[in-house]
Amino acid sequence: MVREKLVGRPMEVLLVEDDLEDAGLTIATLREGQVPCRVSLVRDGEEALAFLRREAHFARVPRPDMILLDMHMPKKDGRAVLAEIRCDPKLCRIPVVVLTASLIHGQILKDESLRAESFLTKPIDREHFHGVVKLLRKFMFSDVILPI
């Protein structure tokens, strides 16, 4: 197996997940995937939007290169968070990967014209997840992330 050598800063990932066990598995899967990244975890939709808008104690957080968004969360669900991200000119270009227990969410988001770069069902298929992350990483290297 030939490993691709990537150059540049680590990818900033915002994981929006209220279940700590699922969050731990997702972070472990990211680390396994050999894609250098730093993960910030928030546990509900309101906290996710505050993070993205750099409000209050999130004033100095890094802008994420990718958002991993759970659909079922307290305070504000993933659908509402995605709708706000897509309507905000400062946030709308951030790739969003939806993490869901059911593929029906993909159809709901499509019906509501809410675009996500990918949908992954839980439990996460590690190989598929690695492929999605690597694809987004390549996209970001060509369009967004400048080498150090």
Strand 66-70 versus strand 96-100 pairing type = parallel
Question: pTM, whole model, 2 decimals?
Answer: 0.79
**Structural contact between residues 48 and 15, judged by C-beta atoms closer than 8 angstroms:** no
User: Residue 46 in 3-state DSSP?
Assistant: helix
Reported as a single tens digit per residue, the pLDDT across 123-141 is 666 677 667 776 666 655 5
Residue 58 lies in a domain: yes
CATH code where residue 95 lies: 3.40.50.2300
Reported as a single tens digit per residue, the pLDDT across 61-72 is 999 999 999 988
Residue 42 lies in a domain: yes
Residue 95 lies in a domain: yes
Residue 5 lies in a domain: no
Reported as a single tens digit per residue, the pLDDT across 81-124 is 999 999 999 999 999 988 877 766 666 666 666 777 777 776 66
Segments forming the whole domain that contains residue 25: 11-142
**How many structural domains are present in the chain?**
1
Residue 148 lies in a domain: no
Residue 48 lies in a domain: yes
- The rounded distance, in Å, linking the Cα atoms of 15 and 119 is 14
- For position 23, what pLDDT does the model report? 87
